[in-house]
Amino acid sequence: MVFKLAFQKLKKKLNSYFTDSTLDEFDVWLFSIPNNIGINDKLVYGSNDTKKEFSLMEHISTTSKFIAYENTHGRLDSVKLINKLENNIKKISQIRGIPTIAYLTAINKKVSSELINISDDDIKQFVNLINDIPNEIQEINIVLHSRGGYMISARQIAEIIRDRFKRVTYIIPYMAHSAASMICMTADEIIMTPESSMSPFDVQILSPVSNDYYPATKLVKIAKDARKRCSFFKLFTQKNLCDDWEHKKIERVIFECNASISITKNYTLYWLMKYFFKSFKNTSYSMSNYIVIPIWKRFSKNGRAANKIVRFFTNLNIHIVHNNPIMYHEIKDIGLNISCADEELLSILRETYILADDLFLKSNIVKLYINDNKHLYIVETANS
């Protein structure tokens, strides 16, 4: 009886995450910021399961920086802000000597995450900006300022950029989290500021029941516990604790979550080995939606180094919560080709994210795309 009650509790917990139709959406609801996480100065906490203190770098007070900036330069309306942002992107291109594309999103604006997630809409805009760059130019800077979004869209954007350019540098003025961090794994080089951050890109599943995001690894553990208890009960009592439909649901949860985790790890491992460690030439090891990497490549020196990076970014046992910021020195220590912006570039990057946040708060723009010749933007509509 006690065993049966324990299993029913597990089953109830699993059902609280999903409706009957949820399983078909697993490959879509990945990589966004969970809304049950809070950051309070020195405390990072998960409101449901875990609480842990971290020593974090002081957060930049963007509000006070807006005031200081406007006191110096005068109050700027949306048009002036966009013009200054365009000028900043041109300055980055001049300093670096290669063209620049900027992808900036309203990370501090209270809007639906659907509006600011990396999504299919971004693919079209990136293609539009890339087509402006002459074919003979084979290097690009990508300024990335995003909380993350959908894994499939992020993967397409990353591969479109890499198919077009031989060398790619990602520049993070303040935040490139979740799926945006995953995109950075295709870089030849990453440039950060002392206050900018990346984050884990472990798979997150959105539950339409609770409208919260849950780590896929956690869901797998719950589903496996339910399966184990169900099998154990049947072994000793010859009775089914759950019917065939429930068995199938548990198995589907385990399969879909494990598949999503595997795809994420395999793609990032492949990208790191191909672009950062240069372990592959023109050979592609793609097969269906999975990446097949020869075993001798995985256990080579470069393969082990790439594996270390993937484990670091996908392991919640290290980071505790999905949007826990990972700062410059932590990333430097794990072996990525990462550098801190020099004084001239640093000043422009800091001004860029201050201006971008000010623009998003003053207008209904939620995404801004800029290259050296033009800007495009997506606005929040009245019914969004």
Place 335 in a pLDDT band, splitting at 50, 70 and 90: confident
Report the alpha-carbon distance of residue 56 to residue 5 in Å, rounded. 42
With 50 as the cut, is the pLDDT of residue 27 above it? Answer: no
In the chain, what percentage of residues exceed pLDDT 90?
35
For 126-160, write each residue's pLDDT tens digit: 999 999 899 999 999 999 999 999 888 999 999 99
For 337-350, write each residue's pLDDT tens digit: 899 999 999 999 99
* Residue 276: partners with Cβ closer than 8 Å, 6 or more residues away: 185, 187, 188, 306, 336, 337
Rounded mean pLDDT of 368-382? 80
For 215-270, write each residue's pLDDT tens digit: 888 888 888 887 777 765 554 454 555 655 567 778 888 888 888 888 888 889 99
Query: Highest mean pLDDT: which of 71-80, 255-264, 278-287, 374-383?
Result: 255-264
CA 60 to chain centre: 21
Residues 74, 80, 81, 83: is their CA dihedral positive or negative? negative
**Please, which contacts does 86-91 make with residues 24 or more away whose CB atoms are closer than 8 Å?**
86/370, 86/375, 88/348, 88/351, 88/352, 88/355, 89/143, 89/352, 89/370, 89/371, 89/372, 90/372, 91/348
Q: Taking Cα atoms as reference points, which of 84, 159, 121 lies closest to residue 358?
A: 84
The one-character DSSP state at 74 is -
- Would you state the structure tokens that stand for residue 190, as one six-digit string? 């990453």
Residues 342, 346, 349, 351: is their CA dihedral positive or negative? negative
Give the position of tokens 């290669």. Answer: 98
> Which domains does the chain carry?
37-202+315-379 (3.90.226.10)
Q: Taking Cα atoms as reference points, which of 58, 100, 306 lies closest to residue 191?
A: 100
Lowest-confidence pick of 56-65, 99-108, 170-179, 212-221: 56-65
Residue 248 · residue 191 · CB < 8 Å: no
With 70 as the cut, is the pLDDT of residue 186 above it? Answer: yes
Q: How many residues does the chain have?
A: 384
